[in-house]
Structures are given as C-alpha cells and as structure tokens.
Amino acid sequence: MVVARKLSEHLTSSEAEIVLIDKNGRHLFWPSLLWVMTGIREVDDISRPLKLLEKRGIKVVVDEVIRIDPADNKVATKGGEYTYDYLVVALGATPRPDLLPGNEHICAPWTPEGALKCRKMLAEFRGGRVVIGSHDPIYKCAPAPFEAAFLIKYLMEQRGVTNIDVTVFHQWKEPMEPFGPFMVSMFKRFLDMYNIKFVGGKPNVARVEEGRVVFEDNSSIEFDLGIVVPPHEPPPAVAQSELANPKAYNYMLVELPTLRHPKYKNVFGVGDIIEPTIGLGMAGVFAHFQGEYVASQIIDEIKGTFMGEHYNMTGVCVMDMGYMGAAVFCDFKDKLLGRAEYPNCYMIGGMRLFRAVKATFEKLWFDKFF
Ligand SMILES: Cc1cc2nc3c(=O)[nH]c(=O)nc-3n(C[C@H](O)[C@H](O)[C@H](O)COP(=O)(O)OP(=O)(O)OC[C@H]3O[C@@H](n4cnc5c(N)ncnc54)[C@H](O)[C@@H]3O)c2cc1C
C-alpha cells in the first residue's frame, strides 16, 4: 500500500500501471488489535477496503497469489496471471493459530478473531493467573506481548479485579533482549512497576492443555487465562518460490540495502516477509520505511530521476500501557550493516499522553491512504 501510493504520486498512467493484489481486500491496522481486545475499537474501525485506493489510479485486485515465477516475471493468482516489470513482494507473515495444538484453550490478539476471543475471555475473567507469551520468537511486533500484559493488568484493576498475577514468558533470556541492554533495563523497570513477572529462556511452545502451556522441554506454566502468540508462516507463494530463503524459514531473501532479490533484481521485498532474512523483527514501521525506499528506487529507474531516498533504518514504537505509555526510537543502521550487536535505542516513557499519540497516528495513517 505504501509502495503503490508513492508510485501513484510520482508516475503518470502512461509511465506505469500500478496493480495491488491482496487476498483479503481490506487493509488491517494490526497495532489496534490490542484495542479490539480491550474493547476501545471494533474490527471495522481498524480496517479499510483497499478498493478505495483506486481513486489514486491504483488497480486493486482482490485475489490470492498462489505462485510467483520470477524467472518469467509472472505472478499467478487463483483467478488469473499477471506479468510485471517490477514486483514488490509484501505478503507479510501469516499468523496461524490453527497450527498451535490446544489453541482452543487460549486466545491471542494477533488476528481479529483472536482479539475478539480475548475480549470475551477477559470479560469473564474473575481473577487468577494470566500468562502471556509466544509460541516462538518469530512473530509480529516484538514488544506486543509485553504491551498486552500491561494493558490487561490495567484493565483488570480498573474493573476491580485485583487478585491477578500476570506472567510474561519468552524465548529471550531477558525482556526485549535483541534490542540491547538499555531496552532490557527499561522493560524490566516497567514490569517491576506493574508487578508483572518475566520468565525468560523458555523453549518454543509444544502445545497448550487446559490450564497450562507446555514447552518443548516438557516444562509447563499454569494459567487461568492464557495468551499465546500463534506460529507465523510465510505465504506458500513465497515459501515455495525461488525467492525463498531456506536459511530464514523460507521467508523471502533480499540483499541490503537495496531490498532487491540477489538474483532477480526487479523483485523487491518489503515488510514481514523479509524480516527473518534481515533480522530486524516484524514491525509496520520497518515495512513503511522499506516501502518508501523501494518505491523511490523504482521511480528513479522509470523516470531517470534521483529522489535521494535512502533506506531509513530506524523504527519507532508507541506503547499504550494503560496507566501510562512509552515511545521507543531505535536506529538499526549499525546493526543491519553488521557494525554493532544491538540497535541504538532511546525511550521516552511514563506519560499517559502516549495513548493519545498512538490514536493520533492511527487516524493519520487512515487519513493518509484512504
Ligand atoms: C497485536 C499487534 C500489534 C502490533 N503493533 C505494532 C506497532 O505498534 N508498531 C509497528 O510498527 N508494528 C506493529 N505490529 C506489526 C505490524 O502490524 C506488521 O509488522 C506489519 O503489518 C507488516 O506489514 P506487511 O505489509 O509486511 O504485512 P501485512 O500487514 O501482514 O500485509 C500483508 C498483506 O498480504 C496479504 N496476503 C498475504 N498472503 C497473500 C496471498 N497469498 N495473496 C494475496 N495477498 C496476500 C494479506 O491479506 C495482507 O493484507 C503489530 C502487529 C500485531 C499483530
């Protein structure tokens, strides 16, 4: 969507035909799924029909991509076949709750259905142990399980449910470990302030049983209310194509900093579909900056211009934690280019204002595109 919009701003219809293919036909603003869980938003509030982009001269096809053939510059969908001069692959990572054995015992606001299920479970919850964690460490939005924990603690206390014991478990040894010591210390401080426990260094989840999460080493954690982020998968159209990177769970292979496929230079990757290859973590803010950069490269090649857009290797994350919020800014440049172990992160925290900042961004996002 970011790429298509930028292309449509700079290229005339005689310079390019822009086609956006999406199987759902609706753009979902995933961060607000946490607010669907708490009841501040409904699913319709946080999604828009992609067809609205047609007013910008973008052709929107609602269809599922089933095959990508980069050697022939072709994309096959269930309903047809498309040839291209440039292909931007932004098929994301698909949350697959159905792949988690025992999924019926837990919920996860990583899909609209999961967010609504959590809302119902929270409404019926009268106290006890809340356990939140991820099936494995490759999932959308690294801090979101923590944000969910803070929000749930806040929500329950607002409802007068005070006999609540919240634990976050993770494969990382420390909270937010890949983001470096500063972020670890900040998250530990927040967890302490909210009296939320952290259990780190867990293996992946093997299954969920009624009232307990069982890990691959057969250890388990008991819960009265469980949230487990589901396994994520690359769509088969990428995983089974020549674009797949077997060293990164068959997510897409790209080279840095161009975000092009090393063999097929007219094929770009953007967003969650390339994250396991480049190792940043899955976040919309990364997808956004990558999309801007990829679009500018395509525009430059078509028009013979130089837009001067470099790949902005930073990320911003705003968290609503109920009683307060926080904004994180990280510069990943040195990490991505192999010059540092961790990103360089800063945080402004402690103010409730950040809920409003988050809501303002959500509004600006929809206003910008729709
Ligand atoms: C609870 C939660 C909170 C989050 N909070 C934040 C946050 O605060 N900040 C942040 O930066 N990020 C956040 N994220 C992560 C962010 O939403 C994702 O990283 C981002 O959406 C990735 O964008 P994408 O374009 O790569 O993939 P997506 O947004 O997943 O888009 C992929 C698109 O491809 C389509 N598609 C998939 N397969 C096919 C196919 N075969 N054929 C056709 N179409 C297909 C899908 O319908 C979808 O529209 C959060 C995510 C979750 C779940």
Answer whether 232's CB lies under 8 Å from 139's CB: yes
7 within 8 A of 18, measured Cβ to Cβ:
yes
Q: How many angstroms separate the alpha carbon of residue 131 from the centre of ligand 1?
A: 24
| Residues 96, 37: Cα–Cα separation, whole Å | 18
DSSP state for residue 255 in the 8-state scheme: B
Residue numbers in the chain where pLDDT is lower than 50: none
pLDDT at 365: 96
pLDDT tens per residue, range 46-80: 999 999 999 999 999 999 999 999 999 999 999 99
Mutate to test the pocket of ligand 1, among 28, 37, 91, 328 (most ligand atoms within 8 A of CB): 91
Q: CA-CA distance, 309 to 292, in Å (whole number)?
A: 8
Distances, alpha carbon 128 to alpha carbons 20, 124, 226, 335, in Å: 47, 12, 11, 41
Q: Which domain holds residue 123?
A: 95-231
Q: Is residue 186 domain-shared with residue 197, that is, in the same domain?
A: yes
Asked, for residue 219, whether it belongs to a domain, the answer is yes
Q: How is the chain split among helix, strand and coil, in percent rounded to 5?
A: 35, 25, 35
51 within some domain: no
Question: Closest ligand 1 atom, CA of 30?
Answer: 17
Asked if residue 246 and residue 223 are part of one domain, the reply reads no
> Does the residue 81 lie in any domain?
yes
Q: Say whether both 100 and 202 belong to one domain.
A: yes
Q: How far is the CA of 125 from the centre of ligand 1 (A)?
A: 29
CATH number for 247: 3.50.50.60
**Do both 103 and 75 map to the same domain?**
no
**What one-character-per-residue DSSP string does 91-117 give?**
---EE-GGGSTTGGG-B-TTSHHHHHH
pLDDT given for residue 44 in this prediction: 96
Is residue 327 included in any domain, yes or no?
A: no
**Domain stop point among 303, 318, 347:** 303
What is the b/e burial string over 187-199, where b = at least 16 CB atoms within 10 angstroms of the residue's CB?
beebbeebebebe
Position 63 scores a pLDDT of: 98
Shared domain for 179 and 293, answered yes or no, is no
Locate 294 and state its tokens.
Answer: 């990829």
What element of type H or E holds 236?
A: helix 236-239
Q: Is residue 120 domain-shared with residue 206, that is, in the same domain?
A: yes
Same domain flag for 286 and 252: yes
| Structural domain total, the chain | 2
Secondary structure (3-state) at 278: helix
Chain Cα centroid distance, residue 197: 24
Would you say residue 142 lies in a domain? yes
Q: Which of 6, 75, 140 to mutate to test the pocket of ligand 1 (most atoms within 8 A of CB)?
A: 140
Q: Which residues sit with their C-beta closer than 6 Å to ligand 1? A: 21-24, 30-31, 33-34, 64-65, 90-92, 109-110, 140-141, 144, 235, 237, 271-273, 282-285, 287, 317
Given 303, 332, 364, the domain boundary residue is: 303
Q: What is the pLDDT of residues 251-285, one digit of tens each?
A: 999 999 999 999 999 999 999 999 999 998 999 99
Can you give the pLDDT at residue 115? 98
Which atom of ligand 1 is the closest one to the Cα of 144?
3
356, amino acid identity: A
> Is 178 inside a domain boundary?
yes
* Closest ligand 1 atom, residue 270 Cα: 26
C-alpha to C-alpha distance for 3 and 290, rounded to whole angstroms: 9
Neighbours of 218 (CB within 10 A): 8
Atom of ligand 1 nearest to the CA of 95: 53
Same domain as 99, residue 14: no
Domain boundary among 231, 253, 286: 231
Whether residue 200 contacts residue 172, with contact meaning beta carbons closer than 8 Å, is answered with yes
Q: Omega before 175 cis (within 30°)?
A: no
Do 273 and 212 share a structural domain?
no
Give residue 154's identity as a one-letter amino acid code: Y
